[in-house]
């Protein structure tokens, strides 16, 4: 019924049914039919039908006076919201994990801000998923699939988790040759990866391990630093250790085995239209994460720097 009220107001402002039909791009018969439908619902005539003169009935005058301003406000709000959705400018609130954002993806954020200075990026680091449901976040980068059917998700990449230790630790404690050897070593565990579900990449066999951790932390960055300091063996995402692996500070051990893959997703609530700026960032992340080998499941080779073609010049983006 709201559409028919709006149509009536447009008819009055246009000065007739034919003029309103042209202005709205509708067939004249459709305009007439919808006006008649509204009059039938109201139980009264709103417009005098005359080939010589367009005029409102007393009921039509009262109806126009009651709704004209509301329809104008509705149209203005609709136009403003449409412009807001389609313009690549304005505020964009994004939720992303701390470690990956201040680490391997930090240059990506800089490149996005440089490419789109008209977008005011509000990057919130953390994992407060409730912010998405509350409508406080336009788009989120999340690690691990989201099981909630209220969320749309697009897969951006995948990170391998591998077993590593520093050269100093291995020199002092020896290098394990089998998974069973790990029970004799100092283990640094991350709360997000308490159980080591290992998969052999050669034969596909799996083994679930519950190791007694010497040290347990709830932050991957801290676990990496503890392992870097020679305090134990850790199962960590390869994306958190690119420089350490390439420089030789970390050695990958039990190379035939790796932990669960950690998939990265862009997510947003179902039923919400993504603004043009949110789509812009989503596509930007998809393109550039897709160009990073370590975020597509590859593992850097220990002591072997990246080849020139695998180094992204973010400043040129």
The token pair at 83 is: 């412009």
CB count within 10 Å of CB 40 equals 9
Determine the pLDDT at residue 306: 58
Domain boundaries, position 303: 90-159+262-316
pLDDT in tens, 270-315: 767 788 899 999 999 999 999 999 999 998 887 666 554 445 444 4
Phi, psi of 236 (to 5 degrees): -135, 155
Question: CA–CA separation, 80 vs 84, rounded Å?
Answer: 6
CA-closest candidate to residue 47, choices 13, 11, 80: 11
Same domain as 267, residue 243? no
118-127 core/surface letters (b: 16 or more CB in 10 A; e: else): ebeeeeeeee
CA atoms within 13 A on the CB side of 14: 17
pTM (two decimals): 0.67
pLDDT in tens, 143-162: 877 777 778 889 999 999 99
Question: CA–CA separation, 117 vs 95, rounded Å?
Answer: 19
The token pair at 245 is: 């692996």
Last residue of a domain, one of 86, 118, 146: 86
Which CATH number fits the domain that encloses residue 57?
A: 1.10.10.10
pLDDT in tens, 11-60: 888 888 888 888 888 888 888 888 888 888 888 988 887 666 788 888 88
Same domain as 115, residue 73? no
SS3 105: coil
Residue entry with tokens 């309103």: 20
């Amino acid at each position: 019924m709201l559409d028919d009220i709006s149509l009536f107001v447009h008819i009055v402002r246009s000065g007739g049914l034919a003029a309103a039909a042209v202005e709205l791009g509708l067939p004249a018969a459709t305009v007439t039919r919808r006006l008649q439908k509204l009059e039938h619902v109201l139980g009264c005539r709103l417009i005098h039908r005359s080939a010589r003169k367009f005029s409102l009935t007393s009921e039509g005058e009262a109806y126009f006076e009651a709704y004209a301003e509301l329809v104008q406000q509705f149209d203005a709000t609709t136009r403003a919201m449409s412009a807001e959705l389609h313009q690549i400018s304005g505020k964009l609130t994004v939720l992303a994990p701390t470690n990956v954002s201040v680490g391997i993806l930090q240059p990506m954020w800089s490149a996005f801000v440089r490419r789109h200075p008209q977008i005011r990026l509000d990057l919130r680091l953390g994992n407060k998923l409730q912010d998405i449901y509350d409508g406080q976040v336009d788009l989120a980068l999340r690690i691990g699939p989201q099981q909630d059917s209220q969320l749309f998700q697009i897969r951006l990449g995948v990170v391998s988790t591998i077993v590593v230790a520093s050269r100093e630790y291995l020199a002092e404690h020896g290098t394990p040759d089998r998974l069973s050897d790990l029970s004799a070593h100092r283990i640094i565990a991350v709360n997000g990866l308490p159980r080591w579900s290992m998969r052999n990449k050669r034969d596909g066999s799996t083994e679930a391990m519950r190791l007694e951790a010497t040290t347990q932390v709830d932050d991957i960055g801290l676990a990496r630093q503890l392992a870097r300091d020679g305090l134990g063996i850790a199962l960590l995402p390869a994306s958190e250790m690119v420089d350490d692996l390439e420089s030789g500070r970390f050695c990958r051990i039990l190379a035939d085995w790796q932990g669960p893959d950690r998939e990265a997703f862009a997510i947003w609530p179902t039923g919400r239209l993504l603004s043009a700026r949110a789509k812009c960032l989503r596509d930007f992340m998809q393109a550039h994460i897709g160009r990073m080998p370590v975020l597509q499941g590859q593992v850097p080779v220990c002591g072997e720097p990246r080849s020139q073609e695998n180094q992204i010049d973010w400043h040129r983006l």
